[in-house]
Amino acid sequence: MKDAGQDHAAGKAAQGAAARSPRTPAPKGLLLDLTRSINRAKHQTLSGIDRVERAYLDWMLASSSVTRLYLCRLSDGWRLLDRAGAVAVSGFLDGGYEAPALDLRARMSLVKPPRARAAETLVRRHTIAHARSLAQLAPAIEAAFPEGGVYLNVGHDNLAPEVTGAIREGGLAPVVLLHDVIPMDYPEFARPGGAAQFRTRLEAAAEAALIVTNSRYTAERVTARMTAEGLSAPPVHANILGIGEDLLRPPGIALPGEDGPERPVFVQIGTIEPRKNHLMVLNLWRRMWDQRHPDRTPHLHIVGRRGWENEQVLDMLDRAPMMGRTVFEHADLDDEGAARLLDRARALLLPSLVEGFGLPLGEALMAGVPVIAADLPPHREVGREVPELLDPLDGPAWLAAIDDYARDESPRRAAQLSRLAGWQAPRWADHFAELERLLPAALDGAFLSEGAA
């Protein structure tokens, strides 16, 4: 729970401030786009990108050394919030503040969930400037930042060329954090039309003063994709994200299906979408169901909302006989519930076919839980030599690893725990220290060449 908002934010991000060179003074102002956080307020479970935008919000609130404002796009236009408004939004989203009394517009928006309407009410209530159209946005920004500054977009919402143009017209230098280019590299894993939509986002990012990425792998893919699309990329800088403590909670939970001796538990966390490779894992548990007695089969807990283009997986979740017996689905579990599940796990399973970063991997390792993951570049960046990394298409190898980790005396699990003792999580403090080094150069148009990806 937050007080005036300062202690909570400072505790999570104030340590991220870095010493600046006298030649690169801080930007005169910072504008953080919070539209994604408001749009997704209806969800109790945060996605990886949601967590990143929240971390940036905490970092922004941890200091008032320069003008720091916040941008939200609602159905009635663009709204600017000051610190008090951002504290109110942050406190509500984190569960520390009670939901506000809904305003008239929110009471009329019956199609939206109550939590979404409450978040929008807070934004309207704390608005310090309102631009009803994109044409009015640039003058509103210019009035709020007479000495210029940097606009930060880390959630991909509002990432469009016309918005970037208005931001520049208002006197701010756009800085964009790209989490991946998966919709273009792997359109089969995106929603229909996802590649075309992301092409627009890439065009907007091409107009930024700086692109920051969450990993070296993403930086390489952004640069390659920009070249393939004929876009002139601004400087691209890999700045690995921090790993928070969202999944560190006290142990103890009664797990579904445990009406007898405690069973070995495995957890898979992530939106149920094709690239997360739930199908392979479910087929492994289906084989165990067919060939073994349920009492000799470990339990699998799938944590995540159902996504798109995933009919076969959803059919298995709805109709496979092992559901509710050895496999359990948790569609909207909060962080505390996910943490308590993870605390009981022999390992977290991450068999993704492609990723831009390895946030669940890092959070599990930070909680002291072993990880069996796909052998992907971002997983190697985050976990280094610690996780068990396997080919995501090698089902027999995954089954052998699961069987070993399910044993009370597992040599492979013991070896990973030994490696884990020397692992250190990437820190948000380091991410924001590096960001503060980069922002002045982006504002001045003079990027430090040694930092470019």
Query: How does pLDDT run across 414-440, given as a tens digit for each residue?
Result: 999 999 999 999 999 999 999 999 988
Predicted pLDDT at 348: 98
Q: Where are the domains of the chain?
A: 6-242+427-451, 265-420
Tell me the CA distances in angstroms from 270 to 5, 115, 344, 396, one per residue in order. 29, 22, 18, 22
Work out the pLDDT band at 23, boundaries 50, 70, 90. Answer: very low
Could you please state the CATH topology (level 3) that the domain comprising 6-242+427-451 is classified under. Answer: Rossmann fold (3.40.50)
Work out the pLDDT band at 25, boundaries 50, 70, 90. Answer: low
Q: How many CB atoms lie within 10 A of CB 104?
A: 9
Element housing 265 (H / E):
strand 265-269
Which range (24-28, 215-219, 309-313, 415-419) has the least confidence?
A: 24-28
Asked if the model's pLDDT at residue 24 lies above 80, the reply is: no
Q: What's the predicted TM-score (pTM) here?
A: 0.86
Give dist(CA 274, CA 311) in Å, integer: 9
pLDDT in tens, 388-416: 999 999 999 999 999 999 999 999 999 99
Average pLDDT of span 211-233: 95
Work out the pLDDT band at 175, boundaries 50, 70, 90. Answer: very high
Work out the pLDDT band at 6, boundaries 50, 70, 90. Answer: very low
| Sheet arrangement for strand 77-81 | 127-131, 77-81, 67-74, 29-33, 149-153, 172-178, 210-213, 236-238
Distant-in-sequence, close-in-space partners of 87: CB < 8 Å, separation ≥ 6: 2, 4, 5, 6, 61
CATH of domain 265-420: 3.40.50.2000
Work out the pLDDT band at 262, boundaries 50, 70, 90. Answer: confident
CB-CB contact of 382 with 361 (8 Å): yes
pLDDT in tens, 299-354: 999 999 898 888 999 999 999 999 999 999 998 788 888 888 999 999 999 999 99
Predicted pLDDT at 256: 56
Which range (72-81, 221-230, 250-259) has the least confidence?
A: 250-259
The sign of the dihedral angle between the CA atoms of 54, 60, 61, 63 is positive
